[in-house]
C-alpha cells in the first residue's frame, strides 16, 4: 500500500521560504507524477504543481514565480519550496500521487501538514 508523508516546519515567517518534503513508501516514485495541493483553513483545494520522476516539473501559473519542486528518486522523496510567503499561504499542504497522465487522478494523499505563516 502506497503511503505519503509530508514533513517540514509548521511555522514560517512572512517573506521567508516554505519548504516541505513528501516521503513515499510502499511504492516507487519512478512512475506517475507527484503533486502538491494546498487547502487554506475553511477553503477549497488548490493545485500547486507536480514533479515527475524524470525531473520535469510544472506549476499552477498563480504560483509560478514563487514555487519550485524537485524529486529525489534515491530517497523516494519529492519537495516543495514556496518563496516570499505571506499570511495568504497559510494552509494545509498535501502531497498526492496522480496515477494518470492528466493531473486529475489523485489516488494517494499524505495526511497533510498545516503551515502557518506568521511572525
Partner 1 sequence: QSALTQPRSVSGSPGQSVTISCTGTSSDVGGYNYVSWYQQHPGKVPKLMIYDVSKRPSGVPGRFSGSKSGNTASLTISGLQAEDEADYYCCSYAGTYTSVFGGGTKLTVL
Binding site for partner 1 (CB under 8 A): 35, 37, 43-47, 50, 58-62, 94, 98, 100, 102-107, 109-112
Pairing mode of beta strands 91-98, 33-39:
antiparallel
CB of 4 to partner 1, least distance (A): 10
CB of 104 to partner 1, least distance (A): 4
CB of 30 to partner 1, least distance (A): 19
CA distances from 93 to 20, 40, 54, 74 (A): 9, 9, 23, 23
The HSE-up count of residue 44 (CA atoms within 13 Å, CB side) is 2
Of 33 and 79, which has the nearer Cβ to partner 1?
Answer: 33
Grid cell, residue 15, equals: 517573506
Of 16 and 66, which has the nearer Cβ to partner 1?
Answer: 66
Of 16 and 40, which has the nearer Cβ to partner 1?
Answer: 40
d(CA 30, CA 110): 18
Amino acid at each position: 500500500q502506497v503511503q505519503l508523508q509530508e514533513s517540514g516546519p509548521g511555522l514560517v515567517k512572512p517573506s521567508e521560504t516554505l519548504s516541505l518534503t513528501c516521503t513515499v513508501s510502499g511504492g516507487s516514485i519512478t512512475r506517475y507524477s507527484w503533486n502538491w495541493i494546498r487547502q487554506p483553513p475553511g477553503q477549497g483545494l488548490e493545485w500547486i504543481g507536480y514533479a515527475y520522476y524524470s525531473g520535469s516539473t510544472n506549476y499552477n501559473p498563480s504560483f509560478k514565480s514563487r514555487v519550485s519542486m524537485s524529486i529525489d528518486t534515491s530517497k523516494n522523496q519529492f519537495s516543495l519550496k514556496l518563496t516570499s510567503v505571506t499570511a495568504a499561504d497559510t494552509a494545509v499542504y498535501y502531497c498526492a500521487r496522480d496515477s494518470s497522465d492528466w493531473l486529475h487522478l489523485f489516488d494517494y494523499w499524505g495526511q497533510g501538514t498545516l503551515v502557518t505563516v506568521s511572525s
